[in-house]
Amino acid sequence: MKRAVAGLFSLLMLSNCARAPLGYLDGAGPAARSIASLGWGLLGISVAVCLITGALLVFSIFRRRSQTDGLGGGDDRSALRWIGVGLSITTVLLLASAVWTLWTVRGLSDTSRAAAVTIDVTGQQWWWEVRYRSDTPSREFSTANDLVIPAGVPVQLNLRSRDVVHSFWVPKLAGKMDMIPGQTNRIRIEADRPGIYRGQCSEFCGMQHAQMAFFVIALAPADFQTWWNHQLEPARSDPDAAAQQTFMEHCAACHAIRGLSAGGILGPNLSHFGSRRTIAAGILPNDSRNIALWLRDSQGVKPGSKMPELHLAANEVDTLTAYLEGLK
Amino acid sequence: MTIEAVQGLPANERRRLFDIWETAPGLYGWLATVDHKKIGIRYLCTAFFFLIVGGVEALTMRIQLAQPGLKLLSPEAYNQLFSMHGVTMIFLYALPMLSGFSNYLWPLLLGSRDMAFPRLNALSYWVYLFAGIFLYISFPLGQAPNGGWFNYVPNTELQYDPGINIDIYSLGLIFLGISTVVGSANFVVTLLRCRAPGMSVNRLPILVWGTLTASVANLLAVPAVSLACFLLWMDRRYYTHFYAISGGGQPLLWQHLFWVFGHPWVYALVLPGMGIVSDALPVFCRRPLVGYTLVAISTVSTMILGFGVWVHHMFATGLPIVALSFFSAASFVIAIPSAIAVFAWIATIWTGRPQFKTPFLFFAGFVLLFVIGGVSGFMTASVALDWQLTDTYFIVAHLHYVLLGINVFPVVGGIHFWFPKITGRMMDERLGKWTFWTMFVGFNLAFFPMHLIGLMGMPRRVYTYSAELGVGGYNLLISFGAFLFAAGILLLLINIIRSRTEGAVAGPNPWDAPTLEWSVSSPPPPYNFAVIPVIASRHPLWEDRLDETPDRSTIHRGLVLDEGKETVGITVLDAEPDVILKMPADSLLPLLAALGMMVIFSGMLFINYWVMAAGALWTGLVLLVWLAPRDHASTERPTVYG
């Protein structure tokens, strides 16, 4: 009875794990799902091995014995036979797990379905540049920290790094793939249904490795096309000359905005910034309070961030906040 | 007197040996000793000190991580702490602690009077101590290594890490590598030449197998990391481009060089620990180990396979699938020798009669932790699953079950087991049991939930995390467990300090154990054995009672070797007496050589050529004196006593 309760309890805990935003025992796409079933399988074997070996250990310690004081014990040959039995079971389990693993890898490497979109994702300290590729150069554009994809189709990602090693990870959709300077690693992700999936850098990349998150937003294919077309338009239809002036003075050296002569490439491209979910790579929800906070005190919010302290006047902060928020 | 009961040599003869072997009194003797027992104790104490330092670093981090978004530590401070925690525990605690046991025990286990190269042994300790100091000088400077113990490039290239943090790391590891390599060479030669006659390879204690295997591995693996660090230092200070892509370098080169060292190293940190259990657990089961030959073979084969699995640290780097599949399969296979050892331990307990003394608790607890750490390793061996598991707290859980489970628990059990031999007094049993249960419960509270938060996707090496991940509650529990575990270590420390003066007098063999070290007084005399024993089985002190063969070891009769500081050298395979080895007297040369190296490395740290040259000259002169020709061996007919 106790054991059943304990078993139920641990199962509940594990399904909790699966539901966590970065939990990968429950996949939301084909790749993550096939890894998740492998994970449950190996986890099951592991738990069983621990329970059986633990029980053997406890029983071997507490089993009843004839009371003698001498040295030595029993017949080694029968003990060795049991070791042989245990070893055979171990070997079979290992072999089966290896085959299952390789089978899964084979499935994951299958590229027979053509990718619907190709996206370059470039990791840098400590944010993600996202560039949508197209056969028509005029339809290409850049954004940051939000990776919008069409649901239900494979998406090809080319992963690169501009500085140190990062690792691209959206646990609900696929396993990790490192972003290594000087090479391009390719990975496919696919989301079954529209939804929002959390991502996280998972290779230590310096001071702010902890705060390098992002979101994958899967849209229905038609919505995705609309979104793409919208991204190609200038960010704002009602140009506010004063605000633009402030932006050009303080921000344009590092940031670009479509439709403006601001063309900096050191920081994220801010076209349509107002429609993004978060600020500073997934760490603050994108609202006017947080934009103002970030403009006033980037080093307090994210120490070491490449976004410098701007020493803006209060009215400049307000102007820029309103301007950035309006970039929908 | 106990010595007489155990060693049958007349008192005047023993006095003579004592005078020959005793370390000179006073400061000179303290600095110049080459006695393996004194050096072993120094290793143990220094490593224990670093365990406490690394533990305090861990506790500081656990306060920061107890809840999401805490701001106790700055990101830079946290990154320095987690890097130094890893460097300290892996390089300055785990292997030196095992070297301490092996240094103290090997000659006693093997029936020799010292290690093959006593002065090299002293050098190995001094270099370890100075390298530890070198690495820790960075703390007061506020520039401790901050790139993790794995120190991936290009994050640690000058461009991204302009301080001296990484120079201290790379030069410190090269410096420490000298200690490891000379220590390992010493173990290997000691095994080949300095066993008692009759101590053939099938009679070696498993601890000897473990340390031997680890030493051979270190000789092959440490040069890789020393080279990697040297290339990095050249990249940083002389603008070479081994790793920097701007000049055609390759960041993955670091990862290969580091892990081709790093993975065998992990096995070097656990195999001697497993050896401690394989030798000491049977004593508390009142029977020999089941499957000695299998366990010895599995020790060696683990290490051989251990050289073929390093890429499983690099599954997510985009290497070709065929290569990944090979390393994945190899990583599964390595579970087989480990399984042999687990089954052998359980069978030993099963067929034996367990005595619930403190060391037994640590060894039995270890078996469970070994299995848990083993199966989580089995899960990470799967390349596809590892793409999710890697760099999450699941790995943190796994590596701590492995390194604390298979290193710290056997080590603490071993401390309780050999403390009477080393000090002549027993440790307190009641306090010992409290220590075990506090450590065991604390350990599992601290590290088991890490599996769960790992499966929930909490990344490792982060100074803070978002409340949205839903792992705050678990992290609070983990931090609580970490402090409980630390309380266990504190109890251990109290027990050690109290028992050293107040413990019950142990006598030569308080546990009624079978191996040679228990045949001499506690603590052992400076010369270890009054006469060189001749060995006839794996259990010299249990032979009469086990009565497996008619042969008997002779412990009270044999070579005396009292013409000078001498021990016997044997032929490699058959362990036939071959030569009398003249052992060196106390010497300041090892300390002076280590000091010279410290000067060289300090010069390299600050790129001061004058200091480097002075250090090199100093070290060169010391080595010249060291290597001056002298008699090492004689084949004259020795005195036989009895």
- DSSP character string of B13-40: HHHHHHHHHSPPSHHHHHHH---HHHHH
Find which of A180, A184, A299 to mutate to test the B interface (most B CBs within 10 Å of its CB).
A180
Closest residue in A to B79 (Cα–Cα) = A207
Looking at the DSSP assignment, which residues form a beta bridge with residue B568?
B580
For residues B450 and A314, give the distance between their C-alpha atoms in angstroms, rounded to a whole number.
45
* H or E stretch covering B229: helix B206-238
Which residues in A lie closer than 8 A to residue B75 (C-beta atoms)? Answer: 207-208, 210, 303-304
Closest residue in A to B147 (Cα–Cα) = A206
For residues A24 and B457, give the distance between their C-alpha atoms in angstroms, rounded to a whole number.
7
Q: What local confidence, expressed as pLDDT, does residue B557 receive? A: 82
CB atoms B160 and A164 under 8 Å: yes
Q: Chain B: give the shortest CA distance to residue A235, in Å.
A: 31
The rounded mean pLDDT for chain B is 94
Which residues in B lie closer than 8 A to residue A22 (C-beta atoms)? Answer: 456-459, 469
Alpha carbons within 13 A on the beta-carbon side of B619: 17
Count of structural domains within chain B: 1
Give, to the nearest 10 degrees, the angle between helix B409-423 and helix B95-110. 50
Token pair recorded at residue B307: 């050289």
Coil, strand or helix: which one is A278? Answer: strand
For residues B386 and B628, give the distance between their C-alpha atoms in angstroms, rounded to a whole number.
55
Coil, strand or helix: which one is B580? Answer: strand
B557 phi and psi angles, rounded to 5 deg: -125, 145
Residue with tokens 């020393």, as numbered in its chain:
B226
Residue B24's alpha-carbon distances to A45, B28, B35, B355, B631, in angstroms, are 59, 7, 11, 41, 22
Which residues in B lie closer than 8 A to residue A170 (C-beta atoms)? Answer: none
Q: Chain A: give the shortest CA distance to residue B14, in Å.
A: 33
Find which of B61, B286, B338, B346 to mutate to test the A interface (most A CBs within 10 Å of its CB).
B346
- The residue type found at A240 is D
Alpha carbons within 13 A on the beta-carbon side of B283: 27
Q: Are the C-beta atoms of residues B278 and B109 closer than 8 Å to each other?
A: no
CB atoms B542 and A53 under 8 Å: no
Residues of chain A with pLDDT under 50: none
Find which of B277, B388, B471, B539 to mutate to test the A interface (most A CBs within 10 Å of its CB).
B388
Taking the CB of residue B563, how many other CB atoms lie within 10 A of it?
14
A213 phi and psi angles, rounded to 5 deg: -110, 175
Q: Which of B161, B350, B458 sits opposite A60 (nearest CB)?
A: B350
For residues B280 and B206, give the distance between their C-alpha atoms in angstroms, rounded to a whole number.
10
For residues B23 and B32, give the distance between their C-alpha atoms in angstroms, rounded to a whole number.
8
CB atoms A165 and B154 under 8 Å: yes
Q: Is A67 exposed, middle or buried (0-12, 13-18, 19+ CB in 10 A)?
A: exposed
For residues B409 and B440, give the distance between their C-alpha atoms in angstroms, rounded to a whole number.
9
DSSP result, B494-524: HHHHHHHHHSPB--S-TT---SGGGGS-SSP
Residue B347's alpha-carbon distances to B278, B343, B539, in angstroms, are 12, 6, 19
Taking the CB of residue B610, how many other CB atoms lie within 10 A of it?
8
Nearest in space to A166 (alpha carbons), one of B251, B481, B17 = B251
DSSP result, B85-141: HHHIIIIIIIHHHHHHHHHHHHHHHHT-SS-S-HHHHHHHHHHHHHHHHHHHTTTTT
Residue with tokens 């992290």, as numbered in its chain:
B475
Q: Are the C-beta atoms of residues B392 and A204 closer than 8 Å to each other?
A: no
Q: Are the C-beta atoms of residues B558 and B532 closer than 8 Å to each other?
A: yes
Q: Are the C-beta atoms of residues A147 and A216 closer than 8 Å to each other?
A: yes
Q: Which of A32, A87, A180 sits opposite B343 (nearest CB)?
A: A87
Q: What local confidence, expressed as pLDDT, does residue B3 receive? A: 37
CB atoms A80 and B290 under 8 Å: yes
How far is C-alpha B579 from the chain's CA centre?
31
Residue with tokens 């031997």, as numbered in its chain:
B212
Give me the domain span that covers residue B471: 3-641
Instruction: Supply the pTM of this predicted model.
Output: 0.95
Q: Are the C-beta atoms of residues B339 and B269 closer than 8 Å to each other?
A: no
Residue B637 in this model has a pLDDT that exceeds 60: no
What would the mean pLDDT of B582-605 be, rounded to a whole number? 96
Contacts of B305 (CB under 8 A, 6+ apart): B330, B333, B334, B337
Q: Is B245 exposed, middle or buried (0-12, 13-18, 19+ CB in 10 A)?
A: middle
Please report, to the nearest 10 degrees, the dihedral formed by the alpha carbons of residues B95, B97, B99, B103 taken in order: 180
Q: Which of A24, A46, A176 sits opposite B378 (nearest CB)?
A: A46
For residues B10 and B13, give the distance between their C-alpha atoms in angstroms, rounded to a whole number.
5
CB atoms A87 and B452 under 8 Å: no
Cis peptide leading into residue B259 (ω within 30°):
no
Cα angle for residues B94, B97, B99 (degrees, 5° grid): 110
CB atoms A83 and B294 under 8 Å: yes
Token pair recorded at residue B193: 């030449």
pLDDT tier at B352 (50, 70, 90 boundaries)?
very high
Q: What local confidence, expressed as pLDDT, does residue A261 receive? A: 85
Q: Is B549 exposed, middle or buried (0-12, 13-18, 19+ CB in 10 A)?
A: exposed
Q: Are the C-beta atoms of residues B94 and B407 closer than 8 Å to each other?
A: yes
What would the mean pLDDT of B329-349 be, rounded to a whole number? 96
For residues A291 and A284, give the distance between their C-alpha atoms in angstroms, rounded to a whole number.
9
CB atoms A204 and B147 under 8 Å: yes
Q: Which of B155, B371, B456 sits opposite A50 (nearest CB)?
A: B371
Residue B493 in this model has a pLDDT that exceeds 90: yes
Closest residue in A to B154 (Cα–Cα) = A164
Residue B506 in this model has a pLDDT that exceeds 50: yes
Which residues in B lie closer than 8 A to residue A206 (C-beta atoms)? Answer: 79, 155, 160-161
Query: A100: which DSSP letter?
Result: H
Find which of B156, B456, B458, B538 to mutate to test the A interface (most A CBs within 10 Å of its CB).
B456
- Report the CATH number at residue B578: 1.20.210.10
pLDDT tier at B634 (50, 70, 90 boundaries)?
low
Share of chain B above pLDDT 90, in %: 88
* Dihedral sign (CA B330, B333, B335, B338): negative
Q: What local confidence, expressed as pLDDT, does residue B370 receive? A: 97
How far is C-alpha B436 from the chain's CA centre?
21
pLDDT in tens, B553-587: 998 888 888 888 889 999 888 888 888 888 999 99
Closest residue in B to A176 (Cα–Cα) = B387
pLDDT in tens, B508-527: 999 999 999 999 999 999 99
Q: What local confidence, expressed as pLDDT, does residue B513 receive? A: 96
Which residues in B lie closer than 8 A to residue A183 (C-beta atoms)? Answer: 252, 318
Residue A158's alpha-carbon distances to A117, A119, A130, A180, in angstroms, are 11, 6, 10, 11
For B206-359, strand residue ranges (E) read none
Q: What local confidence, expressed as pLDDT, does residue B639 receive? A: 57
Residue B6 in this model has a pLDDT that exceeds 60: no
Contacts of B541 (CB under 8 A, 6+ apart): B509, B512, B513, B514, B515, B516, B518, B519
Coil, strand or helix: which one is A324? Answer: helix
Q: What local confidence, expressed as pLDDT, does residue B547 receive? A: 84
Q: Chain A: give the shortest CA distance to residue B161, in Å.
A: 9
Q: What local confidence, expressed as pLDDT, does residue B178 receive? A: 97
- The residue type found at A269 is N
Closest residue in B to A32 (Cα–Cα) = B388
Token pair recorded at residue A208: 């702010």
For residues B377 and B382, give the distance between their C-alpha atoms in angstroms, rounded to a whole number.
9
Q: Which of B285, B346, B465 sits opposite A210 (nearest CB)?
A: B465
For residues B265 and B142, give the distance between their C-alpha atoms in angstroms, rounded to a whole number.
29
Residue B642 in this model has a pLDDT that exceeds 70: no
What would the mean pLDDT of B425-430 be, rounded to a whole number? 97
End-to-end CA distance of chain B: 20
pLDDT tier at B635 (50, 70, 90 boundaries)?
low
Nearest in space to B122 (alpha carbons), one of B182, B168, B166 = B182
Judge if ipTM > 0.90: yes
Q: What local confidence, expressed as pLDDT, does residue B592 receive? A: 98
Q: What local confidence, expressed as pLDDT, does residue B90 receive? A: 96
Q: What local confidence, expressed as pLDDT, does residue A8 receive? A: 66
Residue B636 in this model has a pLDDT that exceeds 80: no
For A15-134, strand residue ranges (E) read 117-124, 127-132
Q: Are the C-beta atoms of residues A283 and A211 closer than 8 Å to each other?
A: yes
CB atoms A24 and B455 under 8 Å: yes
Q: Is A68 left (phi over 0), alpha (psi -120 to 50) or beta?
A: beta
Token pair recorded at residue B311: 């890429």
Find which of A202, A297, A301 to mutate to test the B interface (most B CBs within 10 Å of its CB).
A202
pLDDT in tens, B439-480: 999 999 999 999 999 999 999 999 999 999 999 999 999 999
